[in-house]
Amino acid sequence: MQKIKSGRFGDFGGQYIPETLMTEVNRLAAAYEHYKNDPEFQAELTTLLNEYAGRPSRLYYAKRMSQDLGGAQIYFKREDLNHTGSHKINNVLGQMLLAKKMGKTRVIAETGAGQHGVATATVAALMGIECEVFMGKVDTDRQALNVYRMQLLGAKVHAITTGTGTLKDAVNAAMQEWASRVTDTHYVIGSTMGPHPFPTMVRDFQSVISREARAQILEATGKLPAAVVACVGGGSNAIGAFYNFIDDKDVRLIGCEAAGKGVDTDEQAATMERGSTGIFHGMKSRFIQDGDGQIAPVYSISAGLDYPGIGPEHVHLAEIGRAEYVGITDDEAVDAFEFIAKEEGIICAIESAHAVAYVQKLAPQLAKDQIIICNLSGRGDKDVAAIARYRGVDIHD
Interface with ligand PLP (CB under 6 A): 86, 88, 115-116, 191, 231-238, 304-305, 349, 351-352, 377-378
CA distance to 55, 144, 265, 343, 389, per residue, from 261 (Å): 36, 25, 7, 26, 16
Asked if 57 and 348 touch (Cβ cutoff 8 Å), the reply is no
- Reported as half-sphere exposure (CB side, CA atoms, 13 A), residue 352 has a value of 32
Supply the minimum distance, in Å, between the C-beta of residue 394 and ligand PLP: 25
Which is nearer to ligand PLP, 57 or 73 (by Cβ)?
Answer: 57
Beta bridge partners of 372: 74, 227
Kindly tell me which of 264 and 381 has the beta carbon lying closer to ligand PLP: 381
Q: Catalytic residue at 382?
A: no
**Nearest distance, CB of residue 349 and ligand PLP, angstroms:** 4
Other beta carbons less than 10 A from residue 68's beta carbon: 14
Nearer to ligand PLP, 182 or 232 (CB): 232
∠ CA(381), CA(379), CA(369), 5° rounding? 140
> Smaller CB distance to ligand PLP: residue 193 or 366?
193
Minimum CB separation from ligand PLP for residue 20, in Å? 26
Please tell me which residue in 57, 191, 300, 377 is annotated as part of the active site: 377
Q: In what order do the strands lie in the sheet with 156-160?
A: 156-160, 130-136, 106-111, 185-187
Nearest residue (CB) to ligand PLP, 150 versus 366: 150
List C-alpha distances in Å: 238 to 110, 211, 255, 378: 20, 13, 7, 12
Q: Which is nearer to ligand PLP, 340 or 366 (CB)?
A: 340
Q: Check if 180 is active-site.
A: no
Give the shortest CB-86-to-ligand PLP separation in angstroms: 4
- 110 flagged as catalytic: yes
C-alpha pair distances (Å), 171 with each of 28, 52, 117, 164, 222: 18, 28, 12, 12, 43
User: Which of the residues 88, 137, 168, 382 is marked catalytic?
Assistant: 88
Provide the 8-state DSSP code for 82.
Answer: S
CB contact at 8 A, 77 and 183: no
Question: Which residue sits closest to ligand PLP, CB atoms considered?
Answer: 378
Q: How far is the CB of 205 from ligand PLP (least distance, A)?
A: 11
How far apart (Å, rounded) are the C-alpha atoms in residues 71 and 65? 10
Give every CB contact of residue 110 below 8 A, 6+ residues apart in sequence: 116, 117, 133, 134, 135, 167, 170, 171, 173, 174, 189, 190
Catalytic residue among 24, 79, 110, 313: 110
Q: How far is the CB of 235 from ligand PLP (least distance, A)?
A: 5
* Residue positions annotated with a catalytic role: 88, 110, 377
